[in-house]
Amino acid sequence: MSVGKSGSAAPADPLARGLGVFSLTLGLPQIAAPGRVNRLIGVRDDATTRMWMRIVGAREIAAGVGIFSTRRPKGWVWARVAGDTLDLALLGLALRGRSDRPNRTLAAAGAVAGAFAADVLDGVRLSRGTDGAQEQQPEQQPEAPIHLRAAITVNRDRNDLYALWRDFEGLPRFMAHLDEVRAGDDGRSHWTAHGPMGMTVSWEAETTEDVPGERIAWRSLEGAKVHTSGTVRFVPAPGDQGTEVHLEMRYELPGGAIGSMLAKLFGEEPAIQVKDDMRRFKQIAETGEVVRSDATPEGALGRRVVKQRPAKPLAEEQLAEVGAEGAS
């Protein structure tokens, strides 16, 4: 199976890019493991400090995503300066009564002070227009939509696969981001999908091309919250070895570049989604169901894969039990 993707955005200033990566790298563990970060910087780990750590992490992620949403992220860099000031104030309060290891807390304060200096430097450079990059046009060109292509070979007749895909209300069986599709009698349908951080979005779509056994094309209606279009083609595989299913999709995520970055951060990266969707389509077409395991209870989902434990030898007691069961 092959998957392709195009469409991206990034700040022109190298220092701004570095600060954006720093924000995202710092923010994720602050949200996912606030207790561990508290202990790392010597702050007493309790419900209050975990709450503040998550708030700081959310702010860091917002700043990082904001920096990567524009070529000249002056406002977002100055937002980091304000955030650094708040972080220094919180660390100062921690040193007064919520620090178990003051040396670690002081080291964290020193690191924040260094980040503060870098943020101020870059903020001043961007404000003066001396970031070393060529000036953009007064109106920046809109970001190109995400363009995805994927293909997979399925051991079924193409007419069967066409019928399976043409049942739009059954698409959520293998398209993990879809919650529901309601098909109408006029070639239109209502789609509901979920995204990162619990976001839900709905839109109306219409079928623009429908050739039985060959291809189906669709697009969202004008004014829809999600601008999307797609085509799926069913081509006989060489040597009478089933059918090649070719999927091509274009769409713009809600929130533009910010929405795209959040999707990647929270495991909703579009290229991974379409890859998993095509695999599940193949499984349903060939076996009638999605293959599941203890590690992947919902199938091969890129978003929710159970963390697997490393293999380790059985203890002596367990070996004895296995031997007794074999003897019986």
**Cβ distance 174 to 167 under 8 Å?**
no
**Both tokens of residue 247?**
């999927």
Q: Given the DSSP bridges, would you call strands 2-6 and 146-154 parallel, antiparallel or unpaired? A: antiparallel
**Cβ distance 123 to 74 under 8 Å?**
yes
% of the chain exceeding 70 in pLDDT:
73
Reported residue count of the chain is: 328
- pLDDT recorded at residue 311: 44
* Per-range mean pLDDT, top range of 118-132, 151-165, 166-180, 299-313: 151-165
For residue 227, give Cα distances in angstroms to 219, 221, 252, 273: 8, 8, 6, 17
Instruction: Looking at the structure, give the CATH architecture of the domain made up of residues 146-287.
Output: 2-Layer Sandwich (3.30)
Span between the terminal Cα atoms of the chain, in Å: 47
- pLDDT recorded at residue 155: 94
**Both tokens of residue 262?**
């959040």
**Both tokens of residue 233?**
């083609």
Q: What is the DSSP string of 102-142?
A: HHHHHHHHHHHHHHHHHHHHHHHHHHHT-SSSPPPPSSPPP
Does pTM top 0.85 for this prediction?
A: no
Q: What whole-number distance in Å separates Cα of residue 145 and Cα of residue 259? A: 12
- 42 Cα distance to chain centroid: 31
Look at residues 76, 41, 83 and name the one whose alpha carbon lies nearest to residue 59: 83
- Residue-wise pLDDT tens digits, 91-110: 888 888 777 888 988 888 88
Residue entry with tokens 């030898």: 313
Residue entry with tokens 């739009």: 168
Q: What is the mean pLDDT of the chain?
A: 78
- Residue-wise pLDDT tens digits, 254-301: 555 545 554 554 445 677 788 889 999 999 999 988 766 544 544 444
Checking if the pLDDT of 134 tops 50, the result is no
**Cβ distance 157 to 245 under 8 Å?**
no
Q: What whole-number distance in Å separates Cα of residue 292 and Cα of residue 289? A: 9
Look at residues 89, 76, 83 and name the one whose alpha carbon lies nearest to residue 123: 76
Between 12-21, 212-221, 232-241, the lowest mean confidence (pLDDT) is in 12-21
Checking if the pLDDT of 71 tops 80, the result is no
* Per-range mean pLDDT, top range of 74-88, 129-143, 157-171, 291-305: 157-171
**Cβ distance 178 to 192 under 8 Å?**
yes
The SS3 call for residue 7 is coil
